Amino acid sequence: MATKTKSHKTMKIINRLLTIIMMASLSSQAETVSNHISETNYVTMAPKLILYLTDATAGGHSATQFNSDSMISRALIGTDTNYVWFRFFPSNQSFELKLTDAKGHIVQKTEKGLTMGKPTILPKNRLQVPESNGTFVSEDMADFRRFFRPDEMFVITNKGVYDMEVRYRIYVPATNDVPDFSAMIDGHKFLDSKHFAVLTSPTLRVKVIKE
């Protein structure tokens, strides 16, 4: 009877240890998923079109952390050899920005920052489309454009790590006010388009470090 009781206690201890190990593993996985969600510098903007941010100050590499004085660029690239066509807005209509500190408080924008994120203005017809604002990308050819320095957009007074959210806007051919993705991969249809729709990216989430 003593042996059986001892064996039973041993099994309870082993089961408890296994439970602790399993919970620790799940916690670690949850933390990994949470970190993945909190920092996202790679989103699908449209079929075959990927958006991400690069650090132009550090050689143009993709990054999830930027110094507050770094020049951030946006990159759009295709996922295969076919061209993907789109048009871009003026810089003050191109992106939406938000910066929060470690406590979740929204950081005030500078004068320049307040001029960004204006409502988009779509051309009403083909004649209003500037010839210079259309481009195309593929997996071998990305489109890079300089965005901003966080210090220029936000009043960052304290040192620390901040969370920045970015959403980017382009406009594309549309049918019944709905983006026509088939026209984005057909150069002739793209150039002949007379109706357009705004395409806004999912949110990019990166860290900004003030030193």
- What pLDDT is attached to residue 26? 37
Whether 173 and 132 map to the same domain: the answer is yes
- What pLDDT is attached to residue 22? 42
Counted residue by residue, the chain has a size of 211
- What pLDDT is attached to residue 63? 86
Residue bearing tokens 């989430």: 205
Whether 34 and 58 map to the same domain: the answer is no
Whether 14 and 92 map to the same domain: the answer is no
Whether 159 and 134 map to the same domain: the answer is yes
Whether 14 and 106 map to the same domain: the answer is no
- What pLDDT is attached to residue 62? 82
Whether 30 and 79 map to the same domain: the answer is no
Whether 17 and 71 map to the same domain: the answer is no
* Two structure tokens written together for 22: 């399993």
- What pLDDT is attached to residue 68? 96
Averaged pLDDT, groups of 10, the chain, 211 residues long: 49 48 41 47 92 86 91 94 93 94 96 92 78 85 92 96 96 92 94 91 95 93
- What pLDDT is attached to residue 184? 95
55 close to 65: Cβ distance less than 8 angstroms? no
Whether 125 and 30 map to the same domain: the answer is no
* Domain of 164, in residue numbers: 40-210
In whole angstroms, what is the distance from residue 85 CA to residue 135 CA?
6
- What pLDDT is attached to residue 58? 77
Q: How many domains does the chain divide into?
A: 2
- What pLDDT is attached to residue 3? 47
- What pLDDT is attached to residue 7? 53
- What pLDDT is attached to residue 122? 87
Residue bearing tokens 């988009």: 120
Whether 22 and 82 map to the same domain: the answer is no
Whether 33 and 61 map to the same domain: the answer is no
Whether 15 and 46 map to the same domain: the answer is no
- What pLDDT is attached to residue 129? 78
- What pLDDT is attached to residue 41? 85
Whether 20 and 47 map to the same domain: the answer is no
What DSSP string describes 37-79? Answer: HH-B--EEEETTEEEEEEEGGGTSEE-SEEETTSPEEEEEEES
* Two structure tokens written together for 17: 């240890």
- What pLDDT is attached to residue 39? 67
- What pLDDT is attached to residue 17? 44
- What pLDDT is attached to residue 78? 95
